[in-house]
Amino acid sequence: MKVLAIDTSTALASVALTEGDKVLAECSVSNIKTHSKVLMPMISKLFDWACLKPEDVDVIGISIGPGSFTGVRIGLATAKGMAISLKKPVVGVPTLDGLAQNTPFFDGLVCPILDAREHQVNNALYRFEEGYLRRLTEYRAIAVDELIDELKNYKERIVISGDGVFLYREQFAKALAKRIVIAPVNALMPRASSIAYLAALRAKEGAALDSTRVIPIYLKKSYAERVREDNNGRKIK
């Protein structure tokens, strides 16, 4: 199965082509231009490098959030447009699942954290069991202090990854001491090859969908929406 995977949910735009256990090509670019300017050229280059045509793809895997509202929309619109044009199915993969999949050999709790602003992070907790990722919690936008208090109840080591690390690394390390492990640079941010891996697994399980049925995951309203509500007399939360 050939998979084209796209992740634009953070400041890092990442695309990959995989076939079975092989990564045929992968490219990630961090915040050089807006995703809308770099994404299609990256995808075009990817097919050139892999000596493939878009029609050769069997499934399109797309990171559906949570993350940057604009980034998620750009990636999803691109994936849907290609799926419609190529008549290919789409598998939506939550960004947090893909980020957790970056650390498959970690023996402990996997804790991706994506910045949700206002001292909150988008998060879910995971473990790998018999080589497969198992999610332990709901996807949630949670206050950093609340998450740290929750993690104190676990006795095992905890690996953290995602752009929230850049903001809250010291706070997690101070509260949880040696139990906290920072994911290495190759696993710290979302990677399209991890999205491709999960998309292929889920496609085999029957999760591939018509593009119109794939929707983004937003765990909180955008700041603009909350400001508009505040202007209408309601409190921003």
Domain membership of residue 236 (yes or no) is: no
Distances (CA, A) of 208 to 163, 201, 203: 28, 10, 5
> What are the pLDDT digits (tens) for 64-119?
999 999 999 999 999 999 999 999 999 999 999 999 999 999 999 999 999 999 99
How would you classify the pairing of strands 90-93 and 59-63?
A: parallel
The number of distinct structural domains making up the chain is: 2
* Length of the chain as a residue count: 237
Domain membership of residue 152 (yes or no) is: yes
Domain membership of residue 72 (yes or no) is: yes
Its domain, for residue 74, covers: 2-95+190-231
Domain membership of residue 68 (yes or no) is: yes
> What are the pLDDT digits (tens) for 134-161?
999 999 999 999 999 999 999 999 999 9
Residue 222 pLDDT > 60, yes or no? no
% pLDDT > 70, the chain: 92
> What are the pLDDT digits (tens) for 19-50?
999 999 999 998 666 898 999 999 999 999 99
Contact 95, 38 (CB under 8 A): no
Cα gap 228→175, rounded to integer Å: 36
Cα gap 180→160, rounded to integer Å: 7
Does 113 lie in the same domain as 77? Answer: no
Does 91 lie in the same domain as 6? Answer: yes
Domain membership of residue 131 (yes or no) is: yes
pLDDT averaged over every residue in the chain = 92
Q: Write the CB contacts of 106 (distance below 8 Å, at least 6 apart in sequence).
A: 128, 157, 159, 181
% pLDDT > 90, the chain: 86
What pLDDT score does 65 carry? 97
Domain membership of residue 110 (yes or no) is: yes
What CATH number is attached to the domain comprising 113? 3.30.420.40
Contact 92, 62 (CB under 8 A): yes
SS3 132: strand
Does 136 lie in the same domain as 22? Answer: no
Does 132 lie in the same domain as 213? Answer: no
